[in-house]
Amino acid sequence: MAKEEIKIGGTAPDFSLKDEKESVVHLSDFKGRWVVFYFYPKDNTPGCTIEAHAFTKFLKEFTKQNAVILGVSPDSCGSHVKFIGEQGLKIRLLSDPDHKVLETYGAWQLKENYGKKYWGVVRSTVLIDPEGRIAHLWKTVRADGHAEAVLEKLREFLRQEKLAQNQDDGL
């Protein structure tokens, strides 16, 4: 039986992963907040470092928008500790060594490079709304400029919410 693909408007599948401190993290821990759930291939590689630095740079802006950032890779918690320390990162990184959450969210895929096929992480991001629904998907992304694009999309959703609230209030 084929796995059901996640889609905009659908309920985001809950998960249970360890962060860099080996604390167990569940999506349900963030009910009532926006969640930027981004998937990346490997700690301390060029593209992943660019992306992690960008999310760290804009962390305060995301926090102001009631959003949390969670990065996910197959790397170990120990690798995440080293990556965070060496790069001065401020974001939370989750470890998915058996790829279960990566598979559930469609980020673990068959890839091809120079004619060689292999399984790996496709850099992608899921924006989850405060009710736990998938608000937006980026199925393949370039690291450079991606954090800014996610922040802008979040702000767009918040502007739409505010407009709808004002209309409901008769303003």
Residue 146 lies in a domain: yes
Tell me if 92 sits within 8 A of 77, measured CB to CB.
Answer: no
Residue 56 lies in a domain: yes
Single out the catalytic residue among 35, 48, 77, 126: 48
Residue 137 lies in a domain: yes
pLDDT score recorded for residue 2 = 43
The low-confidence residues of the chain, meaning pLDDT below 70, are: 1-3, 170-171
Active site residue 48: yes
| DSSP one-letter string for 133-145 | BEEEEESS--STT
Residue 5 lies in a domain: no
Residue 36, helix vs strand vs coil: strand
pLDDT score recorded for residue 1 = 36
**From residue 6, how far is each of 63, 102, 135, 139 by CA, in Å?**
25, 12, 11, 11
Q: Of the candidates 71, 147, 153, 148, which has an alpha carbon nearest to the alpha carbon of residue 105?
A: 71
Domain extent at residue 151: 16-168
Residue 78 lies in a domain: yes
Residue 45, helix vs strand vs coil: coil
- Please write the tens of the pLDDT for every residue from 113-162: 899 999 999 999 999 999 999 999 999 999 999 999 999 999 999 999 88
The percentage of residues in the chain with a pLDDT greater than 70, rounded to a whole number, is 96
pLDDT score recorded for residue 171 = 56
pLDDT score recorded for residue 142 = 95
Residue 116 lies in a domain: yes
| Total number of domains in the chain | 1
Residue 2 lies in a domain: no
CATH of residue 101's domain is 3.40.30.10
What's this model's pTM, rounded to 2 decimal places?
0.93
Tell me if 36 sits within 8 A of 62, measured CB to CB.
Answer: yes
User: Helix 77-87 and helix 46-57: axis angle, to 10°?
Assistant: 70
